[in-house]
Chain A
C-alpha cells in the first residue's frame, strides 16, 4: 500500500541527510559548499573545454577515454568512500516493510540527486556536443547522455550492494583509509601520462579508444560519434549495449539488494575462517632483535607499519615521495644529487608524533614506563625500527639518484648529508613526540584530530626547521669543502662526518626527549586519546 509513495520519501530522506550533515558545523558546510562550487565550476569548465574540442582530430578518442575513466570512477567510488551516502546502505532500511522493486526505483531516483550526478551529466553533455555531427547525432546524444548517467549510477550502486559485507567490515574500512594513497599515486600517473601525451600527441589514445567505445558507459558516446559518421548499425549496437548494461546492472543491484534485505548480515554471522590467519609471531627478524623492551618495541613498530592502515598509508606516502622527487628529477635531467636527501627527510617525518601513532593504546606503554631510562629505551627502540627501513632506503635512493646523474664523486657527500639530516629528524622527532603529541583519528582521512591542527603544525614545521638548523654545520662544511678548500679530494670526509654527526644528534635528542616523556605520560595519553 505504501509502494507509490516511497520514491518521494527516499528522495526527501536523502535531501534531509544532506541538509543535516551541513547543519553539524559551519566548517563542514563551508567545505561542502566550496567543494560543490569547485565541482560545478570544474564541470562548467570541462563543458566549455569539451565544446571547444569539437572538430579537433582525436577529439572522439579523448572523449571516449574520459567517459570510460568517469565510469571507472563511479565503480570504485563506493569502495573508497563507503560512508559518503547513507541512503546507499540498504541495510538501514531492512526493518521497513518494503518490496524490492519499489525500493530499487526509489533508491535509484535518490541516487540521481546530488552534486556527483549533476557533474557527470555536465560532462556527458559536453562529450556529446564534442563528438556529435549532424541533427541525428544530437538526437541520439539526447538519449545517450542520460543512458550513460544511468549506467554510472547503477554501476556504483551494484558495486556497493555487492560489497556491502566488505564495506561494513574492518577490511573495508582499512581499504578506505588506503584510498588516499591510490589518489596520490593515480595523480602521479595521470601527471606522467599527460606529460607523455603532451610530447607525442593525442593519436596515442586511438587504440585504447577503439576498444573502449564498445564498453558502457563510453559506448553511449561512441554511438553518438558513429551516427555522425553515418555508421547507423554500429551506433544502434553501441546504444543497445549501453541499455543492456544499465538493465543488467539494475537487475544485479536488485538481486543483491533482495539478498541483503533477507539474509543475515555481518553483525549476526559468526566470522568464519578466522583460524586461517597466519601466525607470523616471532619469525626470523624477532630472533635477531635484542631481548627486552628494545626488541619488543621494534617488533611492534614494524608490525604496525604493515598492519595499521594509517601507519601504512603514512609510510607508503613517505617512501613513494622520497623516491619520486629525487629520481624523477634526475630522470628529467633537472635534478641534483642533493635532492636524494629528500628520502631521508620524508622518512624522518615518521619519527614525529610517535605516541599519536599508538592512539589511546599508548596507555599500555605508559603503564610500563616508570623512569626516564624506560622512556629512553622505548624511544630508542622506535628510532631503531625506523632506521631498519630508512637507512637502507635512503642509501638506495641516494645511490640510484647518483647513478642516474652519473655524478659518482658526489656520492659520499650526498650520503653524509642524508644521514646527518636523518639524525636531525630523529632527534627533533623524538623531542616533538614528547612535547607536542596529537591524536591521529583511526577512521576517515584526517591525520589530526579536530582542535589539534595547530599542535600538529608546530610539531612538524617547527621540527623540520629545527632539523634544518641542526644540519647547518654539515651543510656549511659541504659548501666550504666544495668551494673554499679548493681541492675536492677531502669531500669523502663528509660521509663519516655526516654519519657521526647524525648519530650524535639522534642520541642527544633521545636523551633530551626521554625525561620529558617520562614526566608527561598522562598529558601525552590525554593528547593522543582524542581520535
Chain B
C-alpha cells in the first residue's frame, strides 16, 4: 500500500498547486436534490454533492448504485426528475452551450459511431465541436499516438477491442480540451497495458489543473488514482471527501466501503466442503 500512499500525497500536492488561488473554493460540479425514478425503481434518491475543481475524483459504488444514472444526468444526457446540476458555475439544463463546450464525456453502455475508423471518428467529433479542421487533425494525430492507436487508426471502430474502444472514446472526450472530464467505468474490461496508457493520460491531464470525475466499482483502482471520492449505494451518497477522510481508520478503501454499505462479514460458508484438490 505504501507506493499508492506516496503517489496520492504527490497527487494532492500537484493538485493544490495547479488549482491555485483563483479556483480555490469553486466547485467543478455542484449537484442539488437530484432525483431519478424509472417506473417503480428509484435510481437516484436525492443527491447533494459538490465536487472540487482540479481533483481526480472517484465515484464508487456497487453495480446498480446509480453511478451511471448520476453521471448521465450531470452531463446532460438524461433529464432528472428533480434537482439542479451546475458544471463550472453553469446550469446544465438552462445553459447547455456553456456546459457542453467545457466538458468531455465517456459514457458506459452507449455506442460510438462505430462504422467510422478511429481517425474519422476523431475528425467527425472535433468538427462537430466547431474546432478548425487542421487543428482537429493535429490533435487527433497526437492523441492517436499517445493512446497507442496510431496503428489501428484506419480500422473501423466496430472492429476495435474493448480497450481500444475505451481509448478512442477517451480521445474523443479529450479532443476539445475540456475543463471537466466525466468517465463512466473507463477501465472496465480494459487490458493492463491499455489501462496504464489511459492512466498516464489522465494523470497528465489532472496535473495541469483539470478535473476528472470517473466512476468505478473497483476500489483498488479508485484508491490508487483518486484524491477525492464519493461513495454511492442504492441511489444515495454514503460518504464523500478527500480519500484519506473517507477511508478513515479502515486499512483500505475496499474495507471502508464494505463497512459503509454494510456488506462485510458475508462468508462463503461451509457448503462447498467438497471443493478443492485431491478427491473427486
* Contact residues in A for B76 (Cβ distance below 8 Å): 366-367, 521-522
Closest to A296 in B: B127
* Contact residues in A for B124 (Cβ distance below 8 Å): 296, 299-300
* Contact residues in B for A364 (Cβ distance below 8 Å): 112-113, 125, 128, 172
* Assembly CA distance A363 to B173 (angstroms): 12
Tell me the chain A residues, 196-255 only, with Cβ under 8 Å from chain B: none
Tell me the chain B residues, 130-170 only, with Cβ under 8 Å from chain A: 130, 133, 151-152, 154-156, 158-159
Whether a CB of chain B sits under 8 angstroms from the CB of A297 is: yes
CB distance from B172 to the nearest CB of A (A): 7
Which residue, of A278, A358, A525, has the highest number of chain B Cβ atoms within 10 A?
A525
Tell me the chain A residues, 262-315 only, with Cβ under 8 Å from chain B: 271, 274-275, 277-279, 281-282, 291-293, 295-297, 299-300, 303-304, 307-308
If A170-B159, A291-B133 touch, whether A360 touches B100 (CB-CB below 8 Å) is: no
Stretch of B40-48, B115-123, B248-256 with 4 or more beta carbons under 8 angstroms from chain A: B115-123
Closest to A363 in B: B110
Whether a CB of chain A sits under 8 angstroms from the CB of B96 is: yes
Structural contact, A361 and B114, CB atoms closer than 8 A: yes
* Assembly CA distance A293 to B124 (angstroms): 9
Tell me the chain B residues, 7-59 only, with Cβ under 8 Å from chain A: none
* Cross-chain contact of B111 among A279, A307, A359 (Cβ < 8 A): A359
If A279-B117, A358-B113, A363-B107 touch, whether A368 touches B154 (CB-CB below 8 Å) is: no
CB distance from A435 to the nearest CB of B (A): 16
Structural contact, A370 and B97, CB atoms closer than 8 A: yes
CB distance from A490 to the nearest CB of B (A): 46
Structural contact, B79 and A522, CB atoms closer than 8 A: yes
If A279-B117, A292-B130, A307-B156 touch, whether A523 touches B79 (CB-CB below 8 Å) is: yes
Whether a CB of chain B sits under 8 angstroms from the CB of A526 is: yes
Whether a CB of chain B sits under 8 angstroms from the CB of A449 is: no
* Assembly CA distance A234 to B76 (angstroms): 76
* Cross-chain contact of A370 among B101, B112, B172 (Cβ < 8 A): B101
* Contact residues in B for A16 (Cβ distance below 8 Å): none
Structural contact, B159 and A274, CB atoms closer than 8 A: yes
* Cross-chain contact of A274 among B75, B100, B133, B152 (Cβ < 8 A): B152
Structural contact, A529 and B110, CB atoms closer than 8 A: yes
Q: Mark B227-247, 1 if CB is under 8 A from A, else 0.
A: 000000000000000000000
Structural contact, A275 and B129, CB atoms closer than 8 A: no
* Assembly CA distance A293 to B127 (angstroms): 6
Structural contact, A297 and B128, CB atoms closer than 8 A: yes
Structural contact, B115 and A304, CB atoms closer than 8 A: yes
* Assembly CA distance A69 to B204 (angstroms): 64
* Contact residues in A for B207 (Cβ distance below 8 Å): none
Which residue, of A292, A358, A522, has the highest number of chain B Cβ atoms within 10 A?
A522
Whether a CB of chain A sits under 8 angstroms from the CB of B88 is: no
Whether a CB of chain A sits under 8 angstroms from the CB of B77 is: yes
* Contact residues in B for A295 (Cβ distance below 8 Å): 127
* Contact residues in B for A304 (Cβ distance below 8 Å): 113, 115
CB distance from B9 to the nearest CB of A (A): 35
Structural contact, A361 and B156, CB atoms closer than 8 A: no
* Contact residues in A for B154 (Cβ distance below 8 Å): 275, 277-279, 281
* Contact residues in A for B105 (Cβ distance below 8 Å): 363, 367
* Assembly CA distance A147 to B127 (angstroms): 62
* Contact residues in A for B221 (Cβ distance below 8 Å): none
Closest to B127 in A: A296
CB distance from A321 to the nearest CB of B (A): 24
* Contact residues in B for A507 (Cβ distance below 8 Å): none
Whether a CB of chain B sits under 8 angstroms from the CB of A371 is: yes
* Contact residues in A for B4 (Cβ distance below 8 Å): none
Whether a CB of chain A sits under 8 angstroms from the CB of B261 is: no
* Contact residues in B for A40 (Cβ distance below 8 Å): none
Structural contact, B110 and A281, CB atoms closer than 8 A: no
* Contact residues in A for B130 (Cβ distance below 8 Å): 292-293, 368
Closest to B98 in A: A370
* Contact residues in A for B75 (Cβ distance below 8 Å): 367
* Contact residues in B for A170 (Cβ distance below 8 Å): 158-159
Structural contact, B96 and A281, CB atoms closer than 8 A: no
* Contact residues in B for A526 (Cβ distance below 8 Å): 78
Structural contact, B113 and A366, CB atoms closer than 8 A: no
* Assembly CA distance A10 to B78 (angstroms): 47
* Contact residues in B for A275 (Cβ distance below 8 Å): 151, 154
CB distance from B124 to the nearest CB of A (A): 5
Whether a CB of chain B sits under 8 angstroms from the CB of A6 is: no
* Contact residues in B for A359 (Cβ distance below 8 Å): 111
Whether a CB of chain B sits under 8 angstroms from the CB of A468 is: no
Structural contact, A367 and B111, CB atoms closer than 8 A: no
Whether a CB of chain B sits under 8 angstroms from the CB of A365 is: yes
CB distance from A308 to the nearest CB of B (A): 5
CB distance from A36 to the nearest CB of B (A): 35
CB distance from B70 to the nearest CB of A (A): 14
CB distance from A286 to the nearest CB of B (A): 9
Structural contact, A274 and B155, CB atoms closer than 8 A: yes
If A363-B77, A370-B97, A523-B79 touch, whether A303 touches B172 (CB-CB below 8 Å) is: no
* Assembly CA distance A338 to B112 (angstroms): 42
CB distance from A355 to the nearest CB of B (A): 13
* Contact residues in A for B128 (Cβ distance below 8 Å): 293, 296-297, 364-365, 368
* Assembly CA distance A303 to B158 (angstroms): 14
If A271-B159, A277-B154, A370-B101 touch, whether A525 touches B113 (CB-CB below 8 Å) is: no
Structural contact, A281 and B120, CB atoms closer than 8 A: yes
Structural contact, A367 and B100, CB atoms closer than 8 A: yes
* Cross-chain contact of A361 among B113, B123, B127 (Cβ < 8 A): B113
Structural contact, A525 and B77, CB atoms closer than 8 A: yes
Structural contact, B117 and A368, CB atoms closer than 8 A: no
* Assembly CA distance A277 to B115 (angstroms): 13
* Assembly CA distance A292 to B123 (angstroms): 11
* Contact residues in B for A521 (Cβ distance below 8 Å): 76-77
Closest to A270 in B: B161
Closest to B172 in A: A364
* Assembly CA distance A299 to B107 (angstroms): 24
Structural contact, A370 and B133, CB atoms closer than 8 A: no
Closest to A526 in B: B78
Q: Mark B81-102, 1 if CB is under 8 A from A, else 0.
A: 0000000000000001101110
* Assembly CA distance A474 to B261 (angstroms): 68
* Contact residues in B for A365 (Cβ distance below 8 Å): 128
* Contact residues in A for B109 (Cβ distance below 8 Å): 360
Which residue, of A277, A303, A364, A369, has the highest number of chain B Cβ atoms within 10 A?
A364
Tell me the chain B residues, 205-224 only, with Cβ under 8 Å from chain A: none
* Assembly CA distance A308 to B113 (angstroms): 10
A308-B115, A367-B75 provided; 16 other pairs, C-beta below 8 A? A274-B152, A275-B151, A277-B156, A279-B117, A279-B154, A292-B127, A295-B127, A299-B124, A307-B115, A359-B111, A360-B109, A363-B105, A363-B107, A364-B125, A367-B105, A371-B97
List 16 interface pairs A-B (beta carbons < 8 Å), by A numbering: A274-B159, A279-B117, A279-B119, A291-B133, A295-B127, A296-B123, A300-B116, A300-B124, A307-B116, A361-B111, A361-B112, A361-B113, A364-B112, A367-B100, A368-B100, A370-B101
Instruction: Please give the residue numbers on chain B whose beta carbons come within 8 Å of chain A beta carbons, in ascending order.
Output: 75-79, 96-97, 99-101, 105, 107, 109-117, 119-120, 123-125, 127-130, 133, 151-152, 154-156, 158-159, 172
Question: 3 smallest A-B Cβ distances: which pairs?
Answer: A370-B97, A307-B115, A296-B127
